[in-house]
Amino acid sequence: MSMINYAAREINCKIVYYGPGLGGKTTNLEHIYGKVKPDTRGKLISLATENERTLFFDFLPVDLGTIRGFNTRFHLYTVPGQVYYNASRKLILKNVDGIVFVADSQPERMEANLESMQNLYDNMAEYGYDLTRMPFVIQYNKRDLPNATPLGEMQAALNPGWEPADPSKARVTPDPFHAGENLVDQLSGGDWVERVSYFEGIAISGNGVFDTLKGVSKLVLKALA
C-alpha cells in the first residue's frame, strides 16, 4: 500500500524482489546501490547471515524523481530465498505495491524457480492480494551462463499467462520492452492470455537491473494514476 506523505511531499512505494535462493535478488539491490547518486538513495541494509545469505531482508530506499511536486521514493526489499524462511518472507510481502520475481536461468534451478513462484502466489493469496492484478514483472537472471535455460522455456514455465481479469483488456497489447511480442494475446483456440513483462538480466554485471526497476516502478505509479 503506497503512502502519500503530504507534509514531506513524498509518494512512498514498496517493491519486493522475490525468487529462489542464490538467484540474484540481493545482487540487484547492490548494483542499484552502487550506481545511483548517493543523494538519491539511503543506506543499503542487509539482515544477513555471516556467509552473506539473506536472513530476513535487504532494504534500499531510492528516489526516482518528482511528479506533480511529489518526490517518488521507492523502498526496495528482497526476501530470503531459502525455502525454510517462509515466515520472514511473508512478513516482507505485507503492504507490497510491486513485485519483481528474480528467476535463476540455470537448468538445475528450474524446480526452485517454480517452487518459489508457487510460494509467492500462496503468500500473496493469504494476504488477500491477487498477483494477477498488481504490478508484477519477472527478471530472468544469469542469462550469460552457457547452459542457461532457453528464454521460451522459462517463459512457458514461469510466465504462461492467465485469462485477462478485466474483459476490456482482451485485446492484442504489444510488449513495450520486446518488439514483436505481445503482453496480451489470443491463442489459436480463441482464448485470451495475459502475461507480465519480463527482463533478461545479468545482475552481477548490472545488465537488465535498471530496466527491471524502471519496468516495475512505472507499473506501480501507473497503478496509482
Applying CB under 8 A, which residues contact another protein? 1, 3-7, 11-12, 14, 42-43, 45, 47, 56-57, 59, 61, 64-68, 70, 72, 75, 87-88, 91-92, 94-95, 214, 217-218, 221-222, 224-225
Which amino acid, residue 40?
A: T
Phi, psi of 74 (to 5 degrees): -105, 130
Question: What's the CA angle centered on 67, arms 64 and 71, to 5 degrees?
Answer: 50
Residue in this structure with the C-alpha cell 539473506, named with its chain if needed:
54
CB of 179 to another protein, least distance (A): 18
- Torsion sign over Cα 18, 20, 24, 30: positive
| Residue 105 vs 217, nearer CB to another protein | 217
| Residue 12 vs 123, nearer CB to another protein | 12
CB of 78 to another protein, least distance (A): 13
CB of 162 to another protein, least distance (A): 24
Q: Give strand pairing partners of 45.
A: 59
| Residue 42 vs 107, nearer CB to another protein | 42
| Residue 16 vs 148, nearer CB to another protein | 16
How far apart are alpha carbons 218 and 74 in whole angstroms?
Answer: 11
